Structure 1
């Protein structure tokens, strides 16, 4: 009977080893699932951060563009005002010149 007891002990040890392997595989699968979940969370957080950064940079770029637009418009308005002033100052000279040209043409015909 000692051999029957030995065989039973071997079967018990194999059964115990199978249980240990099954538990280890189950624990491994749980750790892998948890790691995948953490990785998904990290990826989602990174996407959210990237989206927020993109929006921030876009907003900053739009503000810069608007500031540049305002600067260009202001410079254009100043230039327009200078041209209008210059033209207003020259109107009397232009009228006098046109009148003298007209008078010369009239005198030339007579």
Structure 2
């Protein structure tokens, strides 16, 4: 089994604005050998977005990727940026029989 290449977009604090809010910077990282699994898809039903859709995916990150928090990150797959849900952590225990040890849920809305 072989995964695909994706781009992760992380945000990092770059300072504070005059009101005390955080100013964010972004950095991109390419990750190879990521398994991509389609999730649920649905039409948006509100009146202002009649052609909108909501898409969910799950990715499985390779064990070789040096873990860092994905909270607030985005994953770009086939040119579409999906938002990471939550702050997933790698599997523990060391007896995972595959090359992948981190499951990440993603979501996006379009239209």
Check whether TM > 0.5. Answer: no
Identify the TM-score tier after normalising by the shorter chain. Answer: under 0.3
Taking structure 1 as the reference length, the TM-score comes to 0.14
Greater RCO (CA < 8 Å, at least 6 residues apart): 2
Of Structure 1 and Structure 2, the greater strand share is in: 2
